[in-house]
Amino acid sequence: MEGKENLAIIREVGIGLRDTGIPILWFTTYETETSAALQVLSWELAAQLIRDYKLCDVEDLEGQPCWVKKEGGVMRYLRAWKK
C-alpha cells in the first residue's frame, strides 16, 4: 500500500563493494511475491541493522521480517521488525 508501513521479508543478502567502490550491505525486500525492491545500505546503516537484529553473521538476515514503506512506486527499508 502506498505511503503505509508494511511488513516485508529480507532475501538475497550480500555484502561487498559491488559497483560503488565502498563497502555496502544489500538485500531484497519482498512485500509480496510480486512486490520486491533492492535495498542498498551504507556501512553505517548496515552496522545499525546488524545491531538491531543482533546478528552474528549477515547471512542470518536471510528470511528476517522488516518494515518497509512504498512511496511513488519506490519501496524503502525503514527498520528491523522487533517482537
pLDDT at residue 2, rounded to an integer: 63
Angle at 50 between CA 37 and CA 55, to 5 degrees: 110
pLDDT at residue 6, rounded to an integer: 94
Q: What domains does the chain contain, in order, with CATH numbers?
A: 5-80 (2.40.50)
pLDDT at residue 3, rounded to an integer: 76
Report d(CA 7, CA 65) in Å as an integer.
6
pLDDT at residue 83, rounded to an integer: 65
The model carries a pTM of 0.88
32-55: string of b/e by CB count within 10 Å (b at 16+)? eeeebbebebeeeebeebbeebee
Tell me 51's DSSP state: H
| Below-50 pLDDT ranges, the chain | none
pLDDT at residue 33, rounded to an integer: 86
